[in-house]
C-alpha cells in the first residue's frame, strides 16, 4: 500500500537514480519538499543541482525546462497549481508544442510538467480550477490525468520516457489517497482508457478527481438494480475513443463527469467524439456533470455545491436511463 504522493515520489526517485539527465525543478520543490510534499526528502538525497527551487516565475522556469530538454536533459517541471500554469502558456503553446513540427522532426522536447489541479480543499478560485482542457486543446503535447496510486507512479515514468512534452495533472484531493502499488511492475500503457468497473446499463466516464465519484455513483446505482460501467479516461490527449465507444456501444448510454466548466470543456469534446462514432447505438442523449459556471468559491458549502457530486452523477445516470 502507498499514498498517491508517495507513488509519485517513488517514480521521481527511480528516474533520478537510473538517469543522471533527470532533474526536478519548480516552486518549493527543494527545502519545503513541494507544495503537496511530493518531493519531500529528495533534496537531501540528490542535492540542489537536481532538485532545483525556482522563483515564482512560471514562464521563466517552464521555458528553462524547454531549453534543458532541447539540450538533452530530461527535466521534470512542477507547477504548484494549474491556475498558475496560465503564466507559462506562451512557452507551452508557442515553444514546447511546436518545436518538433517547426524543425521538421529535427528537435525533440522531452519535457514533463506536473501540476496540481481541481477543487475541494477550500483554497479559493486562484488555486482550485480544472483547466486540463486548455492543454488538451493543443496539438504537439500529451496530457495524462492519473486517478489511482499505480497510475500516479506509472504515468510519471512513462512521461519521462516520451520524446514529446507530457503534462501530468494530479488532482489535489488525491495526494493523501492510499492504494495498492507494485513498484516492480512494468508501467502500464498510459495512453489508453481503462474500464474500472464493468456494467451493462450506462457508462460513466471520469478521470483524476472524478473517477472516484463515478465509482461511488456506480455503487449507489447498483443498490437500485442499475449496473453502471465506469471508464477511467486516463489520457486527455490523445483521447482513446475506441475504448469509450466500445463501452457506450454496450450500454447505449453515457454520463461524462468533468470537474471543468461545461462551456468549452473537455466533456463537450468527449460528447462530440462519441456522437460522431456511436450515434446510432445511443438510446438517449449523452449527459454531462460539470462544475458550476462560477469561479470556485472559498466557503465549503458553496464549493461543495459548485463541484460535481456523487448525487448529481446518480441523477444524470437515472435521467439517461429514462431516455
Helix (H, G, I), strand (E, B) or coil at 24: strand
- Please check whether residue 261 lies inside any domain of the structure: yes
Give the C-alpha distances (Å, rounded to integers) separating 226 from 117, 202, 296, 320: 31, 8, 32, 12
- Along the 323 residues of the chain, how does pLDDT read in single tens digits? 999 999 999 999 999 999 999 999 999 999 999 999 999 999 999 999 999 999 999 999 999 999 999 999 999 999 999 999 999 999 999 999 999 999 999 999 999 999 999 999 899 999 999 999 999 999 999 999 999 999 999 999 999 999 999 999 999 999 999 999 999 888 889 999 999 999 999 999 999 999 999 999 999 999 999 999 999 999 999 999 999 999 999 999 999 999 999 999 999 999 999 999 999 999 999 999 999 999 999 999 999 999 999 999 999 999 999 97
End residue of a domain, out of 152, 179, 206 = 179
Q: Are residues 129 and 202 in the same domain?
A: no
- Please check whether residue 188 lies inside any domain of the structure: no
The structural domain count of the chain equals: 2
Q: 59 - beta bridge partners?
A: none
Q: Are residues 156 and 279 in the same domain?
A: no
Q: Are residues 95 and 173 in the same domain?
A: yes
Q: Are residues 134 and 76 in the same domain?
A: yes
Cα gap 49→1, rounded to integer Å = 31
Q: Are residues 172 and 210 in the same domain?
A: no
Cα gap 241→270, rounded to integer Å = 8
- Count CA within 13 A, CB hemisphere, residue 251: 32
End residue of a domain, out of 179, 202, 235 = 179
Q: Which of 162, 51, 163 is nearest to 154 (CA)?
A: 162
* Full residue range of the structural domain in which residue 14 is found: 2-179
pLDDT on residue 187: 84
Q: Are residues 132 and 20 in the same domain?
A: yes
- Please check whether residue 186 lies inside any domain of the structure: no
- Please check whether residue 187 lies inside any domain of the structure: no
Q: Are residues 131 and 215 in the same domain?
A: no
Where does 123-279 have alpha helices with state H?
Answer: 132-136, 149-161, 211-222, 241-251, 266-278
- Please check whether residue 184 lies inside any domain of the structure: no
Residues carrying an active site annotation: 58, 127
Amino acid at each position: 500500500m502507498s499514498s498517491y504522493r508517495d507513488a509519485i515520489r517513488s517514480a521521481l526517485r527511480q528516474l533520478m537514480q537510473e538517469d543522471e539527465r533527470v532533474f526536478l525543478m519548480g516552486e518549493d520543490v527543494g527545502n519545503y519538499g513541494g507544495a503537496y510534499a511530493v518531493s519531500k526528502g529528495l533534496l537531501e538525497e540528490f542535492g540542489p543541482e537536481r532538485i532545483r527551487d525556482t522563483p515564482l516565475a512560471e514562464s521563466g522556469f517552464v521555458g528553462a525546462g524547454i531549453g534543458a530538454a532541447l539540450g538533452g536533459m530530461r527535466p521534470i517541471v512542477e507547477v504548484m497549481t494549474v491556475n498558475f500554469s496560465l503564466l507559462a502558456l506562451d512557452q507551452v503553446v508557442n515553444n514546447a508544442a511546436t518545436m518538433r513540427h517547426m524543425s521538421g522532426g529535427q528537435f525533440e522536447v522531452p519535457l514533463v510538467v506536473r501540476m496540481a489541479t481541481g477543487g475541494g480543499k477550500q483554497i479559493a478560485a486562484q488555486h482550485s480550477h480544472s483547466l486540463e482542457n486548455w492543454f488538451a486543446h493543443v496539438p504537439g503535447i500529451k496530457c495524462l490525468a492519473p486517478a489511482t496510486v499505480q497510475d500516479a507512479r506509472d504515468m510519471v515514468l512513462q512521461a519521462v520516457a516520451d520524446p514529446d512534452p507530457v503534462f501530468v495533472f494530479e488532482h489535489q484531493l488525491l495526494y493523501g489517497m492510499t492504494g495498492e502499488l507494485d513498484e516492480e511492475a512494468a508501467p502500464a500503457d498510459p495512453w489508453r482508457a481503462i474500464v474500472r468497473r464493468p456494467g451493462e446499463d450506462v457508462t460513466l466516464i471520469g478521470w483524476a478527481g472524478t473517477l472516484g465519484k463515478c465509482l461511488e455513483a456506480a455503487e449507489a446505482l447498483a443498490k437500485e438494480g442499475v449496473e453502471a460501467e465506469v471508464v477511467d479516461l486516463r489520457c486527455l490527449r490523445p483521447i482513446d475513443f475506441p475504448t469509450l465507444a466500445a463501452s457506450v456501444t454496450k450500454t447505449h448510454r453515457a454520463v461524462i463527469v468533468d470537474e471543468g466548466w461545461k462551456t468549452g470543456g473537455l466533456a463537450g469534446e468527449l460528447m462530440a467524439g462519441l456522437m460522431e462514432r456511436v450515434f446510432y447505438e445511443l438510446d438517449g442523449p449523452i449527459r454531462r456533470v460539470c462544475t458550476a459556471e462560477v469561479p470556485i468559491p472559498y466557503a465549503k458549502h458553496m464549493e461543495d455545491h459548485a463541484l460535481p457530486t456523487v448525487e448529481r452523477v446518480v441523477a444524470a445516470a437515472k435521467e439517461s436511463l429514462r431516455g
